Structure 1
């Protein structure tokens, strides 16, 4: 049993700020929260927080851990004047160059840096077309090594080898979901990693592929994780080849439900948005990635019932992501205020709840003890009514002092429980080989 003594409890939704509380943690769950509880449990391990903020864990709801070794990339990347060129010249070459070692290091580095940024969970979307079988378990090993909760899936696509590649991608998704089910039943490892059924985007998945994905979802009970309408090309392709809107086409194959995670969605039609809302699916907004790829702004963001925030592979600093999402919205003349985007950030916990069948996101008994601890000292009052303003204009990842996942410290007083120096040294060696492999693909 662990007691976080003298914490300033900060909950995002519904919002509250309460000082001087003790949080009792047992078996990965919040057992009790209240005043002076440390005196009630004589044998508990007590960690005096001296007023530090404790909040439900932060979730990055769409990421690409395979991109972890792309920072400052020195491969020969051709000029890329549009979104499809960016995919072909950079990302589709990087994913083809990945092997088991480079993927493990990339995923582990991303897991560590997510934790350091205050994340307790990351929902990943993976691609490595020449290392498919076993790739998701390689990522899972990185999650478990770091102690990060998360989800992952394989980006089913036909863009390299047609139907054979699609079938292999679906098989990897199903295989991984079954591995997770077996691991849960066995119970010898913490249940930190879950599965989606993944697909790249509608424009790289044929109707044969959608049939395979539909069968996989029925077989495993998981939801679909896919990019949709990230660029106008996805919509045009769907109209050209299938005479349907993007989500309409996916829904015809039974792929949209309450576990579905749809990334981007900039150019979805009103009909598509109605389907997403009716099926209670989630849109994940990735503001910085959209800006970086110059694909435009999601002017319809406020029309979606369920919105969460992700980074699309630009790290996992969700403090920064929230700021960019809000400021870009305001720059576009949008009507929403910071509290709307704070709700989007909180919603990552709802995604976890739907997939892990557990309670997340509340500082209350029965919720998972996934917690972010911050040493934020503000010159102005912090209260329920202005938490969102502090996130937009004050709090940042440098305030993260500790992170707890499943009741255990995975980052304490800005230190990991193991030496990470060698991991970063190995990464710099691996990346040289990875970047060369990318150039050899030209």
Structure 2
């Protein structure tokens, strides 16, 4: 890959200490931002120059909780209406995941990755489930990730709900994947130990998982207190709330991702903060499933790192951010509350979370940082400066088109056109064919 310069755009670094650079260029070499130069210094440099005039240049966005496998559900009308969150799981998701084939998994991930690229998202923490095809399922997703060019952390959702054999097979799939990524050191692929939720895992299963998490020195990726049912079930059957039970098995650590957290109490939040784990809020999903709104302000007050995910409701992180802000206004009953806490989830905390897996400066524009960069067509019609750049992201840039997406220095989309080794139209055509067959099996 030849070095090149990105010049002429307004750079948003996501670094709170120096958030905005104007009149500067980025030199991309060997997949990294090797130098940040003044535009006046680049004229004589013998590198290809990418014109970013009229564009915002900023880091590729990070999705901290996603489900690639849900892609082929778009437009499905066969699921029975649900009266509560457990009904949503039983009527839709737990029926769907049993029917997935190897090709379903691969195409779902590839289409979702393409959608992410179009929305400027270059890194995804995925959470997978396919009880009918467990062994090798993560390799199918990995194949799609490699072909798309983005980065992803993968895991398999272990659960007892389909029997002990499926649980053990899910554990083995996580172990195999984590050992593979540790050995191969692929810069685009990482792993966590996936778990569905505490209410679908017995003490015996938690013990087995905890032993492996200790041996592999890894974090977990799990749904926690998404619906009130999770807390009530654990209290009724185990005499403990969700986080108390997970802590008894030493399953929380600084690498763990805890999705949702809508029904956590203050003690559970403090236990999460002590462990250094991150909570990933998914506001659109929580609103859609009518489970409630997580108290992001309280979590922030207690010092918890709160990241932002989409739970597969979208691949558009800026759309998710906007909904999260409005949801916090309602949660706090205050139209001025929650803006700072929510914007921090995407612009600061998601990079901090990802740095635990991909290293220093990941998710920021900085010298030495990975060249995960997006260009957005945006000519500000009001002053854009260091004091109001976040407001421009929420209320202006979020409504503009992503023009170019770059990951590890590789241009994945240029001027709105995907530049991949696979044919986007053919992939989407195959997706329609597979979706039709999947819906017939549903």
Asked if 1:56 is matched to 2:72, the reply is no
Contact 1:38 1:46 in 2 (8 A): no
Contact 1:110 1:315 in 2 (8 A): no
CA–CA separation in structure 1 for the residues paired with 2:169 and 2:42: 53
**More displaced, 428-437 or 215-224?**
215-224
Asked if 1:195 is matched to 2:196, the reply is no
What is the aligned-residue RMSD (CA, Å)? 1.5
Q: After the TM superposition, which residues 221-370 of structure 1 pair with which residues of structure 2 at under 5 Å, given as runs?
A: 221-299=217-295, 301-304=297-300, 305-332=304-331, 333-334=333-334, 336-346=337-347, 347-370=349-372
**More displaced, 2-11 or 356-365?**
356-365
* Structure 1 partner of 2:116: 114
CA–CA separation in structure 2 for the residues paired with 1:103 and 1:72: 18
* Structure 1 partner of 2:398: 396
Contact 2:297 2:341 in 1 (8 A): no
> What is the deviation of 1:358?
4.1
Q: After the TM superposition, which residues 115-130 of structure 1 pair with which residues of structure 2 at under 5 Å, given as runs?
A: 115-130=117-132
**More displaced, 272-281 or 30-39?**
30-39
* Structure 2 partner of 1:167: 168
CA–CA separation in structure 1 for the residues paired with 2:194 and 2:111: 22
Of 412, 415, 426, the residue aligned with 1:413 is 415
- Unaligned runs of 5+ residues in structure 1 are 185-189
* Structure 2 partner of 1:219: 215
> What is the deviation of 1:34?
2.0
> What is the deviation of 1:112?
0.4
> What is the deviation of 1:357?
3.2
* Structure 1 partner of 2:71: 68
Asked if 1:139 is matched to 2:141, the reply is yes
Over 3 Å counting, the alpha-carbon distance change for 1:398 and 1:437 in structure 2 is farther
CA–CA separation in structure 1 for the residues paired with 2:79 and 2:60: 37
> What is the deviation of 1:9?
0.9
- Unaligned runs of 5+ residues in structure 2 are none
Contact 2:33 2:370 in 1 (8 A): yes
**More displaced, 381-390 or 420-429?**
381-390
1:309-352, Cα deviation, whole Å (9 max, x unpaired):
11111121111000000011112315534333221102211121
CA–CA separation in structure 2 for the residues paired with 1:357 and 1:210: 29
* Structure 2 partner of 1:187: none
CA–CA separation in structure 1 for the residues paired with 2:400 and 2:81: 35
CA–CA separation in structure 2 for the residues paired with 1:300 and 1:417: 38
> What is the deviation of 1:289?
0.3
> What is the deviation of 1:301?
4.0
Over 3 Å counting, the alpha-carbon distance change for 1:337 and 1:390 in structure 2 is farther
> What is the deviation of 1:431?
0.5
CA–CA separation in structure 1 for the residues paired with 2:438 and 2:44: 55
> What is the deviation of 1:13?
3.4
Contact 1:339 1:388 in 2 (8 A): no
**SS of residue paired to 1:388:** helix
> What is the deviation of 1:194?
0.5
Contact 2:62 2:363 in 1 (8 A): no
CA–CA separation in structure 2 for the residues paired with 1:242 and 1:156: 19
Aligned residues: 430
